[in-house]
Amino acid sequence: MPITLVIHGGAGNITPAMMTKEDEQAYTEGLQAALDAGYAVLESNGSAMDAVVAAIKELENNPLFNAGKGAVFTKKGLNEMDAAVMDGKTLGAGAIAGVRNIKNPIVLAREVMEHSGHVFLSGNGAAEFALTRGVEQAPDDYFFNKLRYDQWVEIRDSDFYQLDHKADNLKGVPNPDHKFGTVGAVACDAEGNLAAGTSTGGMTNKRFGRIGDSPVIGAGTYANNSTCAISCTGH
C-alpha cells in the first residue's frame, strides 16, 4: 500500500496580499517540517497514528499555528487547547478539551485513547490524567506570544470572538499579521491503516469552557479503514 500523509495548518482564504514573502516562507517551512517528520515515520514502517502525532507535534511546537505553543487567548486571557486522534484500524479514539500547560496536546489525546479507558477528557480531569501518564508540561510563558496577545487585547472587552480561519479582522479589513490556524494530519501507512488527528487553541476571546468541533470525534476528527480519514476545522 502506498504511504500517504496530508497535513493542514488551518482553513481560510489566504491570499498573497495577506502576508509578506518572509511570512510565506516561514509558513511553508513550518508545514514542510511537519510533513518531513510524519513522512519519515511512514518511510520507517511506522504506523499511521505515529506519523499523524509526529506531524502535529511539529505544528504544535511552531508558534505560527494556533495549536500548542501558538494557541490563542481566551476571554480570561488564558491558553486552553483541544485535540483529538482516531485510529482507522481499531476505531479507537481519544480527545481532550480545555487543557492548559500541556506542551503537545495531541500526545495527551493519544494517551486518552490508549490508556484512559475513556474517549474524551476535559479540563482538570484531563490535566490530572496527563500527570499520571507523565505527559510533558510547559509553563504559561511558553505559550505567550505577543501577536496572539495583541489580537486578544483588541477584542477582550467585547462579546466578539475571532475564528482562527477568518481572513478578516473585526473591522472587515484584511489583517496581514493574522495567523492560521488549527492544525491537523491524516495518514495511510504501508499496511493500509488510516489515522487522523487535529489540534487547536480554539477561537480568540472564546468563553470559559467552550469546546469547538476539532476534538469532537466525527466532527473535527475521524478515521475508518473502510472509508476515509478526516481532519478539519470550522466553528
Whole-number percent of the chain with pLDDT over 90: 72
The pTM of this model reads 0.90
Q: Cell numbers 505515529 label which residue?
A: 50
Whether 168 shows a pLDDT value over 50: the answer reads no
At 175, the pLDDT band (50, 70, 90 cuts) reads very low
pLDDT in tens, 144-162: 988 888 888 988 887 655 5
221 is catalytic: no
Catalytic residue chosen out of the listed positions 182, 200, 204, 233: 182
d(CA 31, CA 206): 26
Pairwise pLDDT comparison (149 vs 37), residue with the higher score: 37
Q: Say what the pLDDT of residue 10 is.
A: 84
Angle (CA) 28 53 220, round 5°: 85
Q: At residue 15, does pLDDT exceed 60? A: yes
Q: Are 166 and 66 in contact (CB under 8 A)?
A: no
Res 166 pLDDT > 60: no
Q: 189, 207 in Cβ contact below 8 A?
A: no
Convert the pLDDT of each residue in 83-126 to its tens digit. 999 999 999 999 999 999 999 999 999 999 999 999 999 999 99
Task: Pick 94 or 175 by higher pLDDT.
Answer: 94
At residue 55 the predicted structure's pLDDT band, cuts being 50, 70 and 90, is very high
End-to-end CA distance of the chain: 35
Could you tell me the three cell numbers for 134?
A: 507523565
Q: What is the DSSP string of 48-106?
A: HHHHHHHHHHHHHT-TTSSSGGGPPP-TTS---EEEEEEETTT--EEEEEEE-SBS-HH
